[in-house]
Homo-oligomer: A and B are copies of this chain.
Amino acid sequence: MMNFALMCGRCRKKISLSQPAWRCSCGSLLDIQMEKEPDFRFLPGNRQGIWRYRAFLPVDREENIVSLGEGNTPLVSLDLNGRSFQVKMEQCSPTGSFKDRGAAVLISKAKEQGIRKVVEDSSGNAGCAMAAYAARAGMECRVYVPEATSPAKLVQMRAYGAQIVLVPGSRQQAADAALAAAGSGYYASHSWNPLFFQGTKTIAYELFEQLGHTAPDVLVLPAGNGTLLLGAWIGFKELIRAGAIPRLPRIYAVQSSQCSPLLAAQIQNRWPPQDFIPKQTIAEGIAVASPVRGCQILDAVRESGGEVVAVEEKEIRSAILALGAQGYFVEPTAAVSIAGVGRISPALQPEERIVSVFSGHGLKASNAIAAILDEA
């Protein structure tokens, strides 16, 4: 299949996807172009999960598909703070977060490219996903994690047989260490590597089908590296190109106010923002001070007519408690987007359909949640 190619966002160089490139030779970010219009009219009736959309994913041969049963997550209704909205239950993914979508496609393509060893950096969830799919594919996997990573996530990565490198300091320092080490293996980065976003884009396809072949009006997503947000943006744009929906949902990127470089950039109208100093947040999954694709995230949000918002730690804690009282147990990062819905909903029209996500499982961070329960 020649339907996909790598494309540099800066020098516009086009590279064949048969090559395992995760960055352009000019040093810039690569994206993936789909040459032909996708056609959503003839999806296979008997296939569930992300590989239902196999025709729109850059993996050529069926035998290269590395799958753990990802995708096809439930969409549930929630009433909170006087507003009804829907939530995509990504915590029900095989490893407990939406990152499985991206890892499944990235590792499948890496297998197709003959890769035997991958390197990743992660606050935990992407590392768990990459370790799991690498294990499924029989690849070696090394993950650089910040030393403060949740114990449960570390056990999970170890169970998949990944080699874990604890990096002292911040999430950013773990990313830097992985980037420096990427020479010794394929950088399966969920921020750099454009294949990852080909997986996360399937959330747009699934929402389109679950919402009766429509798009939501408003999409509220957590944003650190923007892996889910950019994937959703790509997916909905493909749905527009296919003539399946008329316009993008307005995308709201929610950050923790302790670490909100995207909000700072939006206010300053420049990327990267000046004088930005990150602080600690319980939302470890989005504690990203310098998102590699920050500029792209801002473009996506702006193009869609949405905006970046930030929520306080106490709003995150309140959201965890409110969700628990409704029967949903999610990690702090997942509560961020729900707190974000509370922030933005006063400005929305009552009839607008809002969709948000539970990005990761509460069991990923039971120590942190126990501390919140003890305080409450």
Using a CB–CB distance below 8 Å, which chain A residues touch chain B? Answer: 46, 48-49, 67-70, 72-76, 89, 92-96, 128, 132-136, 151-152, 155-156, 158-161, 212, 320-321, 324-329, 361-364, 366-367, 369-370, 373
Contacts and interface: CB of A to CB of B under 8 A. Distances in A.
Contacts of A362: 155-156, 159
Contact of A363 (B49, B69, B74, B156): B156
B95 A159 contact: no
A73 B373 CA distance: 30
Contacts of A369: 155, 159
Contact of A96 (B73, B361, B367): B361
Given A96-B361, A159-B324, A74 B48 contact: yes
A159 B320 CA distance: 8
Nearest to A159: B324
Given A69-B89, A74-B48, A155 B370 contact: yes
A69 B357 CA distance: 13
Contacts of A212: 46
A153 to B, nearest CB: 9
A67 B72 contact: no
Nearest to A156: B329
Given A48-B74, A74-B49, A135-B327, A94 B95 contact: no
Given A94-B89, A135-B326, A370-B155, A72 B69 contact: no
B327 A68 contact: yes
A67 B48 CA distance: 21
Contacts of A134: 327
Contacts of A152: 152, 363, 366
A95 B358 CA distance: 13
Given A135-B325, A151-B366, A363-B363, 15 more contacts: A46-B212, A68-B328, A69-B73, A69-B75, A70-B74, A94-B328, A132-B327, A132-B328, A135-B324, A135-B326, A151-B370, A155-B366, A156-B366, A160-B329, A361-B363
B96 A94 contact: no
Contacts of A132: 327-329
Contacts of A325: 135, 160-161
Nearest to A361: B363
Nearest to A162: B324
A67 B362 CA distance: 18
A276 B241 CA distance: 67
